[in-house]
Amino acid sequence: DSGVTQTPKHLITATGQRVTLRCSPRSGDLSVYWYQQSLDQGLQFLIQYYNGEERAKGNILERFSAQQFPDLHSELNLSSLELGDSALYFCASSGTGGWDGYTFGSGTRLTVV
Amino acid sequence: EDKVVQSPLSLVVHEGDTVTLNCSYEVTNFRSLLWYKQEKKAPTFLFMLTSSGIEKKSGRLSSILDKKELFSILNITATQTGDSAVYLCAVEYVAAGNKLTFGGGTRVLVKP
């Protein structure tokens, strides 16, 4: 167990729907990152939050949004889903005691049908 | 756009063999290069390299960075079937946040 918790593990939904993915970072970590991993694109950075504030943004679609709450958990909202949004969505967290890389959660596998 | 390229795409070896994985990058304002191992789900951290020419070792795995030629190598000696995985290279550059740009990965299959 990495200490980064993602729920749900699997999600199957229809095109046009909206889903919310949840992430709880490792205890004490202030930064949360969201990544999308698809077969043809590899791991793509979506967005980073640090202590509730958006810190960095990648190629995140306008249909996607995220936030980090006061208890530091984060949610990634995906709306108007398309078949191409099917992927593994990873959350990662990092600490404040010096940069030593991320700790990844086990991911949410999203299948859009 | 920042780019990280890994080679080979995949390889098959037998237990006991040595493998060498390559990662080259075109990243401005480089800060660090990281290696991850991804088996079934979550990538797990292996090494972080920031200084050129200093080898990092962990058991049978080792890695080195060449900041002049912009590449890194991950070596696995005396491979075991448990080393079968996708190995990911990622580069962090100086910018807001700690965004990592990942390469496409090298899939390693170790046969008994």
Is B100 close to A45, i.e. CB distance below 8 A? yes
**Chain A residues within 8 A of B45 when measuring between CB atoms:** 100-103
Rounded to an integer, what distance in angstroms lies between the CA atom of residue A42 and that of residue B9?
A: 12
Residues of B with CB below 8 A from A58's CB?
99
Range in A36-45, A54-63, A96-105, B59-68 with the lowest mean pLDDT = A96-105
Identify all chain B residues contacting A88, using CB atoms and an 8 Å cutoff.
Answer: 41
Q: Are B42 and A90 an interchain contact pair (Cβ–Cβ within 8 Å)?
A: yes
Q: Cβ of A45 and B42 within 8 Å?
A: no
Of the candidates B34, B42, B90, the beta carbon closest to that of A105 is on: B42
Q: Side-chain half-sphere of A17: how many Cα atoms within 13 Å?
A: 13
Q: Which of A33, A101, A104 sits opposite B42 (nearest CB)?
A: A104
B98 touches chain A (CB under 8 A): yes
Q: Which chain A residues have a beta carbon less than 8 Å from that of B104? A: 42
- Closest residue in A to B43 (Cα) is A104
Which of A48, A55, A107 lies nearest to residue B42, judging by beta carbons? A107
Q: Residue B17 above 60 pLDDT? A: yes
Q: Does residue A99 register a pLDDT over 70?
A: no
Give yes or no for residue B40 having a pLDDT over 90.
Answer: no
How many Å apart are CA B86 and CA B84, to the nearest integer?
Answer: 7
Residue B36 sits at φ, ψ, to 5 deg, of -130, 155
- Band of residue B96 on the pLDDT scale cut at 50, 70, 90: low
Q: Do A56 and B100 touch (CB under 8 A)?
A: no
The pLDDT tens digits for B55-72 are 899 999 999 999 889 999
What pLDDT band is residue B3 in, cutting at 50, 70 and 90?
A: confident
